[in-house]
């Protein structure tokens, strides 16, 4: 059987390698448009910042390795320019413009995606870049080395854009960000945007949100934004999105509205002899451009060609990124998506240290979880902090993929030792909060919503100890420490709405139960407490 694979890198080569492990009879040929067959493009930003000092370490494999170890024919600098599904042929163009026809029995499309390249200001034609493949990376690396830029503009605040921002800043380059959306990193929950903006400011980075670059056609006009800001920069890096590499198919396979190849759960396209994998594939109307997904696609395709029954039934992907000393992670849907889908949801906020307080240097983890308060289905989770974010987001991911409810999270047994965790982990704490809200019909408030719930008939009580209030209090709050609350219960008005808060929401929960069990009917707890509200207080991006 002749198997042709369009595209190398992690996904295409994973298909090829597994096919060879399954059978020695296959004649496998991989066609790669570029010169480098496999590279770690996720590491590009860190190599720009010299975190990865030797760029050659990003090259993961070479054609002769695959020939020696797998007897696989790797053809670099070979672009597939047309597919003929009925004849089972592809047309290939070599870098010398020579073209030839190649016949196949099964075809795997792993052509991936390319960076979106917008219109470039005329003064920056030779100083504008994108960062997607090894060629893009090499151009930026060489420009930094030879031109020694002092300033840069990064357009877009997705994963690549923000990682580039951090690493250019660490090189001593003054960076400005331009983001079309109203806030940086719009994929994370809105509550997290102010703290991200604060990190940006802390590192002397200017951020222009709700802005786009104008593209003047006359030389000398420089770099301007839609709101009239004029920026001075030695280079521009565009990180404004991706587009599928599917034009060469000429609509001979079924594509979605964006141009991604529609597949079934076995990764078969509209033609049963052609498969699509990785970034180019759309399964269940979803496209997830992550390496792990592509490698799992590769296994499914190789198994299907071999005759094994494999399916892609899991479309959940956790996201995580490093931004300076912080980690930001998410999985599932955020509030904006849930609202667009008209899905009713409830929210839980909590703040908990990454390990026990008595062990040195505990760091807070901020967590927001969205769920169905009837059946406990978890819709999405967002995490922010310095340590332990990767561990927690992966636990939430496994819980969601296995169909666990939020109420079951309190029963998960997780590792514990003082340097690593608390006896009751953040994941367990989220589950306990959800269960308590359900069992005791508790009223809760988000940390940014006190003003919405407050009126003239509301009493706001800060139940922290007095010395803690030196760091600030919510407007119109009175301080009654938890240690004194029981003695003063009779002084509190039962005809008023009472809002309780502490540092994180834990002690105020205890106070809430105390008042509820003492006959108070309208008692609210501010989840996340004052720490959450303090950390996420700024609302300005610039």
pLDDT digits (tens, 9 = 90+) for 366-377: 999 999 999 999
Decide if 323 contacts 207 (C-beta within 8 A): no
Q: How far is residue 101's CA from residue 152's CA, in Å, rounded to a whole number? A: 45
Among residues 207, 209, 367, 502, the one annotated as catalytic is 502
Decide if 526 contacts 464 (C-beta within 8 A): no
Cβ neighbors of 334 (< 8 A, separation 6 or more) are 187, 188, 189, 190, 370, 380, 382
pLDDT band of residue 127 (cuts 50, 70, 90) is very high
Q: Which domains does the chain have, with CATH numbers?
A: 2-40+55-112+244-306 (3.50.50.60), 122-240 (3.50.50.60), 319-440 (3.50.50.60), 445-535 (3.40.250.10)
Q: Is the pLDDT of residue 380 over 70?
A: yes
Q: Which whole-number Å values give the CA distances from 282 to 67, 285, 286, 289, 293, in the listed order?
A: 31, 6, 5, 10, 11
Decide if 369 contacts 348 (C-beta within 8 A): yes
Tell me what pLDDT residue 541 has.
Answer: 34
pLDDT tens, 392-432?
A: 999 999 999 999 999 999 999 999 999 999 999 999 999 99
Distance of CA 474 to the CA centre of its chain: 32
pLDDT band of residue 539 (cuts 50, 70, 90) is very low
- Give the up-direction half-sphere exposure of residue 427: CA atoms within 13 A in the CB hemisphere: 25
pLDDT band of residue 216 (cuts 50, 70, 90) is low
pLDDT tens, 508-534?
A: 999 999 999 999 999 999 999 999 988
pLDDT tens, 6-39?
A: 999 889 999 999 999 999 999 999 999 999 988 8
Q: Which 3-state string (H, E, C) describes 112-123?
A: CEEECCCCCCHH
State the average pLDDT over residues 147-170.
Answer: 95
Tell me what pLDDT residue 11 has.
Answer: 93
Q: Is the pLDDT of residue 384 over 80?
A: yes
Model pTM score: 0.91
Whether 367 is a known active-site residue: answer no
Q: What is the mean pLDDT of the chain?
A: 92
């Amino acid at each position: 059987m002749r198997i042709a694979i369009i595209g190398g890198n992690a996904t295409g080569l994973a298909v090829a390698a597994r096919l060879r492990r399954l059978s020695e009879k296959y004649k496998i040929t991989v066609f790669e448009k570029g010169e480098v067959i496999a590279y770690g493009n996720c590491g590009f930003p860190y190599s720009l910042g010299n975190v990865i000092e030797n760029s050659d370490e990003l090259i993961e494999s070479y054609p002769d390795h695959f020939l020696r170890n797998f007897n696989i024919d790797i053809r670099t600098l070979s672009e597939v320019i047309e597919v003929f599904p009925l004849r089972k042929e592809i047309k290939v163009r070599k870098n010398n413009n020579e073209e030839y026809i190649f016949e196949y029995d099964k075809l795997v499309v792993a052509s991936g995606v390319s960076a979106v390249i917008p219109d470039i200001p005329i003064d920056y034609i030779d100083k504008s870049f994108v960062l997607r493949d090894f060629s893009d990376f090499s151009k930026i690396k060489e420009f930094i080395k030879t031109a020694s830029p002092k300033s840069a503009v990064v357009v877009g605040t997705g994963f690549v854009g923000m990682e580039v921002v951090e690493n250019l800043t660490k090189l001593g380059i003054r960076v400005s960000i331009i983001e079309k959306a109203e806030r940086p990193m719009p994929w994370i929950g809105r509550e997290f945007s102010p703290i991200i903006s604060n990190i940006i400011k802390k590192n002397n980075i200017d951020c222009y949100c709700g802005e786009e670059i104008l593209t003047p056609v006359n030389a000398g006009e420089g770099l301007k934004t839609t709101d009239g800001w004029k920026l001075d920069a030695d280079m521009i890096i565009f990180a404004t999105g991706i587009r599928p590499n599917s034009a060469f198919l000429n609509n001979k396979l079924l594509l979605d509205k964006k141009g991604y190849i529609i597949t079934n759960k076995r990764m078969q396209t509209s033609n049963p002899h052609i498969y699509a994998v990785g970034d180019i594939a759309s399964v269940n109307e979803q496209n997830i451009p992550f390496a792990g997904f592509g490698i799992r696609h590769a296994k499914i395709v190789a198994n299907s060609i071999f005759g094994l029954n494999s399916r892609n039934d899991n479309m959940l992907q956790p996201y995580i990124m490093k931004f300076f000393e912080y980690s930001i992670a998410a999985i599932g849907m955020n509030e904006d998506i849930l609202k667009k889908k008209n899905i009713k949801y409830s929210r839980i906020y909590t703040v908990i240290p990454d390990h026990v307080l008595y062990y040195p240097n505990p760091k807070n983890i901020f967590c927001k979880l969205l769920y169905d308060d009837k059946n406990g289905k978890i819709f999405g989770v967002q995490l922010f902090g310095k340590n332990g974010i990767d561990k927690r987001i992966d636990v939430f991911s496994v819980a969601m993929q296995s169909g666990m409810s939020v109420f079951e999270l309190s029963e998960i047994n997780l590792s514990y030792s003082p340097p690593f965790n608390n006896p009751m982990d953040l994941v367990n704490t989220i589950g306990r909060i959800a269960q308590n809200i359900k069992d005791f019909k508790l009223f809760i408030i988000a940390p940014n919503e006190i003003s919405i719930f407050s009126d003239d008939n509301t009493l706001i009580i800060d139940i922290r100890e007095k010395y803690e209030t030196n760091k600030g209090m919510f407007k119109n709050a009175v301080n009654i420490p938890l240690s004194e609350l029981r003695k003063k219960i009779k002084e509190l008005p039962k005809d008023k709405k009472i809002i309780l808060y502490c540092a994180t929401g834990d002690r105020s929960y205890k106070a809430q139960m105390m008042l509820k069990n003492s006959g108070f009917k309208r008692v609210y707890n501010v989840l996340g407490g004052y720490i959450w509200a303090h950390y996420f207080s700024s609302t300005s991006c610039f």
